[in-house]
Amino acid sequence: MINDKLKEECGVFGFFNNNDYNVAKMIYYGLYALQHRGQESCGICVNNDGHFLQHKDMGLVNEVFDNNIIEKLKGGVGIGHVRYAAKNNISRENAQPLMSIYKKGTLAIAHNGNIVNAGKIREQLELGGAIFQSENDTELILHLAAKHRVRTGSIEGALCEVMKELVGAYSFVLMSPRKLIAIRDPNGFRPLCIGKLDDSYVISSESAGLDVIQAEFIRDVEPGEIVVITKEKGLQSFKSGIPAVTAHCIFEYVYFARPDSVIDGCSVHKTRVKTGKMLANIAPVPADIVIGVPDSGLSFAVGYAEESGVPYGEGLVRNRYTGRTFIKPSQGERESAVNIKLNVLRANIEGKRVIMIDDSIVRGTTSKNIINLLKKNGAKEVHMRVASPKFLYPCYFGTDVPDKKELLAVNFTTEEICKRIGADSLAFLSIDSLSEIGLKKDGCYCKACFDGKYPCKVD
């Protein structure tokens, strides 16, 4: 239900070859496995003996790259990026990785997150006469890195200085002429992990990016950590030492991440099943079948069914094979739009009381359409259960949130929402139960979108 989901802004990937893999192809598969994190543009940059080669464009990984391009991107180290452009930032110029040439050589970067104090940093740089290719915040990092590198003995030293200037969410993969570097902000908002494939090192936003190339998961990059990989010294770890509370984005578990990823020690799928069980306890209702809204809703539904004893079943079938070139229905045809993505499995729905589970409600339009569709296909009742608390506050850490006035939960009570979307009952997960859904320990997650408690200063 593309239209009514929050949008993650990126996925990053890096590969440091100590074997004889085709780096670009490995990154291609890695980005392909991270495609759900950004579907508007993508790019790969490789280090060809100090000369950086890159290709990036609007489109999905399999649209932007073909065999010819991958063959040309010869190199021993490389980084890649998939992007969900924020707002109107959809031109090719904003595709990443970004590359810059400066005093000490070339530097390329791929970024997942959002810099909260970007405006101030930009202003300062502009006063110093800096020029920018884009309104992309990631470019600021390249400026800051160049500025500090001139006065610091190493790129990792310079990046440590850069981190001191940054406020916000950032998981970076960087490439200098001889190094592959991975950095995670001190709060650890966005995921980032390290893998190994034979003697080669891999960096990925999610562990599923390692699995696709059969790389072994080593560990997560820690909040505030700078990981440097070189031929000579292998993997080295540096700590920025910036004090900060750990605040992993909880929405990664709710919606963004793949179920087969393990993030900061917790299986996304298991967390979702546990959340489904929790929901069954909090908001039970007599019913004949529990269904999930594909894809993220399915794991919640399995948990809900298991706990409640109401049988699990498929209720919605998703059409595949879309892509950027898919012809969307025009305005007049829009009402039937939901059918193009989802079809009801009538045999499972007709005459039944249905519990339908989705990960969240943003504007409510999709939920309304699906419930309507279920009823047209004979559902006697539709009880919606939402596997997260009400979405009430904006996110400043890399999620593309609509305006407050578009957020249904800000403007209406649960009862009103229930009526608007046409459900027979509606329940949300409570903020309290979030603490009990099987995540590591309370206190180390950012739930600001639900409770408004921001783990770092936002303006």
Catalytic residue numbers, as ranges: 10
Half-sphere exposure of 129 (CA within 13 A, CB side): 1
Task: Give the footprint of a second copy on residues 412-451 (CB under 8 A).
Answer: none
Q: Which stretch binds a second copy (CB under 8 A): 33-41, 187-195, 403-411, 440-448?
A: 33-41
321 lies in the binding site for a second copy (CB under 8 A): yes
388 lies in the binding site for a second copy (CB under 8 A): no
Rounded Cα–Cα distance for residues 419 and 456 (Å): 37
DSSP letter for each residue of 57-92: EES-HHHH--HHHHHH---SEEEEEEE---TT--SG
Shortest separation between residue 206's beta carbon and a second copy, angstroms:
11
288 lies in the binding site for a second copy (CB under 8 A): no
- Sheet bearing 353-358, strands edge to edge: 289-292, 353-358, 381-386, 425-428
Q: Binding residues for a second copy, how many (CB under 8 A)?
A: 81
Q: Which stretch binds a second copy (CB under 8 A): 1-9, 28-36, 228-236, 246-254?
A: 28-36
Task: Give the footprint of a second copy on residues 132-151 (CB under 8 A).
Answer: 132-135, 142-143, 146-147, 150
Shortest separation between residue 455's beta carbon and a second copy, angstroms:
27
Shortest separation between residue 269's beta carbon and a second copy, angstroms:
5
355 lies in the binding site for a second copy (CB under 8 A): no
Task: Give the footprint of a second copy on residues 90-119 (CB under 8 A).
Answer: 91, 93, 99-103, 107
Tell me the residue type at 152: T
- Taking residue 259's Cβ as centre, other Cβ atoms within 10 Å add up to 17
Quick one: which of 13, 15, 65, 445 contacts a second copy (CB under 8 A)? 65
If the CB atoms of residues 130 and 431 are measured against a second copy, the closer one turns out to be: 130
Shortest separation between residue 332's beta carbon and a second copy, angstroms:
10
Task: Give the footprint of a second copy on residues 163-222 (CB under 8 A).
Answer: 208, 211-214
Quick one: which of 44, 61, 202, 263 contacts a second copy (CB under 8 A)? 61
Shortest separation between residue 65's beta carbon and a second copy, angstroms:
7
Q: Which stretch binds a second copy (CB under 8 A): 32-40, 168-176, 360-368, 415-423?
A: 32-40
Shortest separation between residue 28's beta carbon and a second copy, angstroms:
6
Quick one: which of 16, 23, 38, 39 contacts a second copy (CB under 8 A)? 39
84 lies in the binding site for a second copy (CB under 8 A): no
Quick one: which of 286, 347, 411, 415 contacts a second copy (CB under 8 A)? 347
Q: What radius of gyration do the chain's Cα atoms show?
A: 23
Task: Provide the H-helix boundaries in 267-326.
Answer: 268-282, 297-308
104 burial via Cβ count (<10 Å: 0-12, 13-18, 19+): middle
Rounded Cα–Cα distance for residues 156 and 140 (Å): 17
Helix (H) or strand (E) holding 139: helix 138-151
238 lies in the binding site for a second copy (CB under 8 A): no
Backbone angles phi, psi at 236, to 5 degrees: -120, 150
372 lies in the binding site for a second copy (CB under 8 A): no
- Sheet bearing 200-204, strands edge to edge: 51-58, 41-48, 77-83, 10-16, 200-204, 193-197, 216-220
Sequence-distant (≥ 6) Cβ neighbours of residue 215 within 8 angstroms = 195, 196, 197, 200, 202
Handedness of CA 398, 44, 63, 192 (dihedral sign): negative
Residue with the two structure tokens 């649960």 = 414
Site track for a second copy across 241-280, x = CB under 8 A? -----------------xxx-x----x-xx----------
Q: Which stretch binds a second copy (CB under 8 A): 3-11, 34-42, 187-195, 279-287?
A: 34-42
242 burial via Cβ count (<10 Å: 0-12, 13-18, 19+): middle
Quick one: which of 131, 243, 351, 403 contacts a second copy (CB under 8 A)? 131
Q: What is the largest CA-CA distance in the chain?
A: 72
